[in-house]
């Protein structure tokens, strides 16, 4: 079974608008972490935001916020005030357990295109 | 954040030859390193997990004799693609974590784009 599901292969957004990228996850581990990464065409993985399973508040990092709905097992990324430079692949990932020695499992990604 | 350096960033090799990819943690001791492979327009798939000083653990379907992983020191892990074939052409990327690194972090190298001709 898919541990991370990203149902939007591609998304378009107008510059300066907000966009939500969907992510649902599946785990029976009560301790887990959720990550979002941006991957431009160069291939590097750029960390955007992290949400821990026990975190009471939704994570925010500048223009990025994570809409964490634990009961629904969803961790949607919201990008506010989109910029042309936001055009890239976006991956949702999960690390089960709180150990840093556990690998991340990635979703299939969403390609975001920002239109001027 | 911590720095993980991966080299080379791009490599083209002939079919049948071997290619070595290095992953270095520059400012921390990487007790564990992960190697991922990403085919075009696809996600990152975990190939193997290596802990310093011990044998790597490979994911199902990954040939350990073809993808040799060595993690001999706390700052360096290498992935050697042996007898490379065109189907091994892919983007390979490493990730490192250390004993004192928070679980909220994951550090990636820049990736290596391998083309086998």
The per-residue pLDDT for A102 is 86
Nearest residue on chain A to B95, judged by CA atoms? Answer: A103
Q: What is the pLDDT of residues A65-102, one digit of tens each?
A: 999 999 999 999 999 999 999 999 999 999 987 777 78
> Percent of chain A beyond pLDDT 70?
99
CB contact, 8 Å: A8 with chain B? no
pLDDT at B102 over 80: no
Q: What is the pLDDT of residues B36-76, one digit of tens each?
A: 999 998 999 999 999 888 889 999 999 999 999 998 888 99
Cβ distance A109 to B43 less than 8 Å, yes or no, reads yes
pLDDT at A8 over 70: yes
- Provide the pLDDT confidence category of residue B101 given band limits of 50, 70 and 90: low
Identity of the residue in A43, A93, A101 whose CB atom sits nearest the CB atom of B97: A101
- Provide the pLDDT confidence category of residue B19 given band limits of 50, 70 and 90: very high
The per-residue pLDDT for A100 is 73
Q: What is the pLDDT of residues A21-53, one digit of tens each?
A: 999 999 999 999 999 999 999 999 999 999 999
The per-residue pLDDT for A110 is 98
Nearest residue on chain A to B32, judged by CA atoms? Answer: A101
- Which of A3, A5, A43 is the best substitution to test chain B (most B C-beta atoms within 10 A)? A43
Average pLDDT over residues B21-35: 91
Q: Under 8 Å CB-to-CB from A102, ≥6 apart: which residues?
A: A95, A96, B103
Nearest Cα of chain A lies from the Cα of B56 at a distance, in angstroms, of 13
| Terminal Cα-to-Cα distance of chain A (whole angstroms) | 38
Residue showing tokens 């996600």: B43
Q: How far apart are CA A64 and CA A77, in angstroms?
A: 7
Chains A, B: CB contacts under 8 A, how many?
61
Cβ distance A108 to B43 less than 8 Å, yes or no, reads yes
Q: How far apart are CA B67 and CA A18, in angstroms?
A: 42
The per-residue pLDDT for B99 is 64
DSSP letters, B41-102, are TS--EEEEEEETTS--EEPTT--TTTEEEEEEETTEEEEEE-S--GGG-EEEEEEEEETTS-
CB contact, 8 Å: B102 with chain A? yes
Between these two residues, A63 and B3, which has the higher pLDDT value? Answer: A63
CB contact, 8 Å: B115 with chain A? no
């Amino acid at each position: 079974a898919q541990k991370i599901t990203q149902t939007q292969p591609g998304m378009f957004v107008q510059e300066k608008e907000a966009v939500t990228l969907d992510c649902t996850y599946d785990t029976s581990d009560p301790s887990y972490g959720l990550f979002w990464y941006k991957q431009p065409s160069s291939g590097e993985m750029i960390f955007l935001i992290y949400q821990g399973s026990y975190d009471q508040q939704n994570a925010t990092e500048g223009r990025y916020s994570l809409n964490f709905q634990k009961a629904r097992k969803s961790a949607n990324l919201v990008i506010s005030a989109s910029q042309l430079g936001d055009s890239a692949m976006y991956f949702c990932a999960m690390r089960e357990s709180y150990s840093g020695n556990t690998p991340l499992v990635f979703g299939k990604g969403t390609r975001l295109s920002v239109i001027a | 954040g911590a720095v993980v350096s991966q080299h080379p960033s791009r490599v083209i090799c002939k079919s049948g030859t071997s290619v070595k990819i290095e992953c270095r943690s520059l400012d921390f001791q990487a007790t564990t390193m992960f190697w991922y492979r990403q085919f075009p327009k696809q996600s990152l798939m975990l190939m193997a997990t290596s802990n310093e000083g011990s044998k790597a653990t490979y994911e199902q379907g990954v040939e350990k004799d073809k993808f040799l992983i060595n993690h001999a020191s706390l700052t360096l892990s290498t992935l050697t693609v042996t007898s490379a074939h065109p189907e091994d052409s892919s983007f390979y990327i490493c990730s490192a974590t250390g004993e004192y690194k928070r679980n909220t972090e994951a550090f990636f190298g820049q990736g290596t784009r391998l083309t086998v001709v």
